[in-house]
Amino acid sequence: MRARRSRRPLALLMACALLVLDTGCTSDVTTLRVLASSELTNMRPLLDELRRDTGIEVELDYRGTVDASAMLAKGDDHDLAWLSDDRYLQLKLQESGRPLRPLSREIMMSPVVFGVRRQTADRLRRDAPDPNLSWADIADGAAKGLVHFGMADPWHASSGLAALVGVATAAARTGGALRPQDVTCDRLRGLFSGQTLTAPSSDKLIEAFVANQGRADALIGYESTLLSLNASGRLREPLEIVYPEDGIVMSEYPLLLLDPARRAAYDKVVAWLTRPDTQRKIMQRTLRRPVLPTVPRAPQLRNEIGNALYFPDQSQVIDRLLANYTSNAHQPGQVIFVLDYSGSMKGARIKALRATFEGLGGGDDSSLGRFVRFYQGERFTLMRFGESVHAERNITISGKNDAEAIRSFLAADRFHQDTAVWSALDHAYQRAAELRRADPKRQVTIVLMTDGQNNSGMPLADFLRRYNALPVESKSVHTYTIRFGEADPAELNAAAKATGGRMIDANASSLDLAFEQTRGCR
């Protein structure tokens, strides 16, 4: 009897020992609540191994990275945060006056790249000056209607925001971080005219792309996400991964300590995630690049990413990028160009005007020219004026014939003795009112270019009085004035400000730059 009684405690002891071994050689499990980027869902199986090895349970609370950063900047009660990128968070912390970046450690890496079907990539290369595609080439192709792509919403997802920053930085061509003055409304509109698919997060974007494979033929997203999609077998054909040669933004997935009281557990998690065997597992299972240089990269991760672009160090840069993306990116607007054809425009000045439109029509093959060219679906009304408006024409960009139509309209050699600047602008507002009545959602902008002073028709005061009497929908049309030659800067500035626009002095820069900065701005 004594022998039977001794077996039961032994069995219980062995069962307890097995339970202890299964929970990482400890009977106590430490739980960490982690605010995490939504694309980290594929890390869940690896975190089960973390629990087994360390006794630390990581509970991931998923959010879009941009949304998570906003939450953290206001104050949050999670123990840790694990974001695809924390640079937007740093800007929000700086803006709010809260303590700057918490203790953090980069865990893995993935660049934002361009994934495109092979046939579409071939079309882009035929029109590009170099077979190594750039963001400028992609923007040019989108403007021509050669490529339609999907991208996660930059208001919520880090991949979308990183893509927006990367493209804008490449377009600015400064070689440094974007400054507020580098963010102009003209640089990205051609690119985003080709966006046909979006979603609030990377994973939802992938689902939408798979479900609608005829709606887009390319994606902007993380290298790891696109490689995983290729490997999933869910696509009719795999995407070619393009690393744009004019620069890439890299995400490094930092793990941040929010609650200093959880430092010991945080250190254990970091040590486990950054040891060589775990780094290899992360790479093999998620196709993210290891942060340890001693871990050899998998074959599909050996492409060099080239020039790494800087992330902005001012929150107002991000604010302006997002505002431009929201207002300009997807709805083709209509621009009314009011162009001075008085006698003073003869000769070099009219040649400069024609050359400017030639470049915008696709004749400028420079990097900047490929970003700012006219794009598919863009609509214009061209007006020539002297002592009155003598000719006008409506054009919608859909192919080479439309560029020829613009060229033909501007080729007129009839110039006029007088310059009725404000009467011409008043006429443009009548046309704008008609457009807004026909389509209240249509965004209409007026660009007025003159090289002389008003010497005919109504004075500025009369124009402003008539403008102020317009209905609200017509007054929402902004005028951007371009000063060229001897035009009166004070009057042009006053008219632009009164209508919500601004004046650009082409004498101080160039006519090209003036039109690039004002075309379709809102």
List pLDDT tens digits, range 239-262. Answer: 999 999 888 889 999 999 999 999
Shared-domain flag, residues 29 and 128: no
312 domain residue, yes or no: no
The pLDDT value given to residue 158: 87
The answer to whether residue 4 scores a pLDDT higher than 80 is: no
The pLDDT value given to residue 490: 95
Mean pLDDT of all residues in 75-94: 91
Contact 303, 242 (CB under 8 A): no
Q: Would you place residue 73 in the very low, low, confident or very high pLDDT band (cuts 50, 70, 90)?
A: confident
313 domain residue, yes or no: no
Condensed to tens digits (0 to 9), the pLDDT of residues 348-373 reads 999 999 998 888 887 776 656 666 67
The answer to whether residue 18 scores a pLDDT higher than 60 is: no
CA distance 138 to 133: 7
Neighbours of 275 (CB within 10 A): 14
The pLDDT value given to residue 14: 47
The pLDDT value given to residue 12: 41
Shared-domain flag, residues 189 and 79: no
SS3 category, 35: strand
- Burial status of residue 239 (CB atoms within 10 A of its CB: 0-12, 13-18, 19 or more): buried
Neighbours of 172 (CB within 10 A): 20
State the CATH number of the domain containing residue 485. Answer: 3.40.50.410
SS3 category, 177: coil
309 domain residue, yes or no: no
The pLDDT value given to residue 456: 93
Q: Which of left, alpha, beta for 35 (phi over 0: left; psi -120 to 50: alpha)?
A: beta
Q: Would you place residue 236 in the very low, low, confident or very high pLDDT band (cuts 50, 70, 90)?
A: very high
Higher pLDDT, 156 or 15: 156
**Domain range holding 13?**
2-108+253-301
347 domain residue, yes or no: yes
The pLDDT value given to residue 447: 93
Shared-domain flag, residues 154 and 186: yes
Q: Would you place residue 28 in the very low, low, confident or very high pLDDT band (cuts 50, 70, 90)?
A: confident
Shared-domain flag, residues 259 and 154: no
Task: Give how many domains the chain has, as a whole number.
Answer: 3
Q: Which of left, alpha, beta for 401 (phi over 0: left; psi -120 to 50: alpha)?
A: alpha
114 domain residue, yes or no: yes
Q: Would you place residue 410 in the very low, low, confident or very high pLDDT band (cuts 50, 70, 90)?
A: very high
The pLDDT value given to residue 70: 86
The pLDDT value given to residue 280: 98
Q: Would you place residue 166 in the very low, low, confident or very high pLDDT band (cuts 50, 70, 90)?
A: confident
Shared-domain flag, residues 238 and 372: no
The pLDDT value given to residue 519: 64
Mean pLDDT of the chain: 87
Shared-domain flag, residues 372 and 479: yes
66 domain residue, yes or no: yes
314 domain residue, yes or no: no
The answer to whether residue 302 scores a pLDDT higher than 50 is: yes
State the CATH number of the domain containing residue 192. Answer: 3.40.190.10
Shared-domain flag, residues 175 and 289: no
Mean pLDDT of all residues in 400-417: 88
Higher pLDDT, 350 or 13: 350
The pLDDT value given to residue 11: 46
Shared-domain flag, residues 36 and 24: yes
Q: Picking from 7-16, 112-121, 350-359, 397-406, which range would have the lowest pLDDT averaged per residue?
A: 7-16
Shared-domain flag, residues 217 and 335: no
Shared-domain flag, residues 50 and 102: yes
Rounded-to-10 torsion of CA 34, 58, 160, 147: -170
Mean pLDDT of all residues in 46-75: 93
Percent of the chain with pLDDT over 90: 54
Q: Cα 441 from chain centroid?
A: 23
Any residues with CB less than 8 A from the CB of 396 and at least 6 apart, and which? 377, 378, 379, 380, 402
Buried b (16+ CB within 10 A) or exposed e, 405-444: bbeebbeeeebbeebbbbbbbbbbbebbbebbeeeeeebb
Percent of the chain with pLDDT over 70: 89
Shared-domain flag, residues 116 and 231: yes
Q: Would you place residue 7 in the very low, low, confident or very high pLDDT band (cuts 50, 70, 90)?
A: very low
310 domain residue, yes or no: no
The answer to whether residue 522 scores a pLDDT higher than 60 is: no
Shared-domain flag, residues 394 and 510: yes
CA distance 295 to 158: 26
SS3 category, 453: coil
